[in-house]
Amino acid sequence: MNMRLSRLSVALVFASCSAAAGPVVTSSVVGDVSVDGLPGEWKIAADRRELAPGLEQVSLRLTSDRERDPPRFRVSFSHPMDDCVGQWRTGAGLNKCITQNWKGESCWSSALAYQGPVVAYYNSASQNRCTVACSESLRKVEFRTGVDERQNGRLAYLAEFFTTPEAPLKDYAVRFLIDRRDVFYAEAVRGAFDWCVRELGHDPTVPVEKSAYDPLTPPGTPISRTFTPKPSSANAWRRSGVA
């Protein structure tokens, strides 16, 4: 009986792991791109497209037979450090250090309101070594980027989706732009954000109404004005002699 229970437990664990594992896309610029965390009721299709030498787009599409709560899944890959000396992203400020991927500064997130889903690595000559952009610019995405000490010091990239509550979906697509061209890293970053804008389908260069540039006050209006403040209730109590 114990042997049967043991075999059943092993079978259940194996089935759970199989359901959570997703396909692996082989990229020509970073190698294997792995997907995990998907339950069995979700199917996934993946492909890659070379846009230029050293520039590639990896596409993932999740589908279900009906609307469900979207799964919390992860996309990951790694690549050699080469001669990387620093990294750039919108929320890092002056911190350009490349740290271990388990440290706090290597864990960050993006959403429409506070940070872009782009990270870039560059060498001492400010040349691009690897710039990665994610097409999910609206929803929150949690990233973990840095040196993976378990993989001989390779630079690891992990993006985790649907870490916060989300309305049920039956279809979801996300894409990644991976740029390992030997160009000035700012050029790679600019190209990554241009790609994000096209993927999002919104144009940030919408013309602004001319009236938006008008001054808030007419020219010549004095900035300081004389006001006669009304006595507060506390002052009124003091003047009435009530302590």
Residues 6+ away with beta carbon under 8 Å from 155: 78, 79, 80, 81, 84, 98, 121, 130, 145, 146, 147, 148
User: By C-alpha distance, which of 150, 146, 144, 142 is closest to 100?
Assistant: 146
DSSP characters over the chain: -HHHHHHHHHHHHHHHHHHHEEEEEEETTTEEEEEE---TT-EEEEEEEEEETTEEEEEEEEEEEEEEPPP--EEEEEE--TT--EEE-TT-TT-----BTTSGGGEEEEBTTTB-SEEEEE-TT-BEEEEEEES--SS-EEEEEEEEGGGTTEEEEEEEE--S----EEEEEEEEEEE--SSBHHHHHHHHHHHHHHHHT--TTPPPPGGGGS-SS-TT--S-----PPPPHHHHHHHTT--
- Look at residue 228 in the predicted model and tell me its pLDDT: 65
Among 108-112, 147-151, 185-189, 220-224, the minimum mean pLDDT is found in 220-224
pLDDT above 80 (res 24): no
Q: What is the pLDDT of residues 81-140, one digit of tens each?
A: 888 999 998 887 777 788 877 776 678 888 888 888 999 999 999 999 999 999 998 899
The Cα 77–Cα 28 span in angstroms is 12
Q: What is the pLDDT of residues 170-219, one digit of tens each?
A: 999 999 999 999 999 999 999 999 998 888 776 656 677 787 777 776 66
Domain residue ranges of the chain, discontinuous segments joined by +: 14-200
Q: What is the pLDDT of residues 198-210, one digit of tens each?
A: 887 766 566 777 8
Q: What whole-number percentage of the chain has pLDDT above 70?
A: 76
Say whether pTM exceeds 0.75.
Answer: no
Which residues, in sequence order, are bridge partners of residue 169? 68
The Cα 120–Cα 189 span in angstroms is 7
- Look at residue 241 in the predicted model and tell me its pLDDT: 56
Kindly state the average pLDDT of the residues 29-43. 88
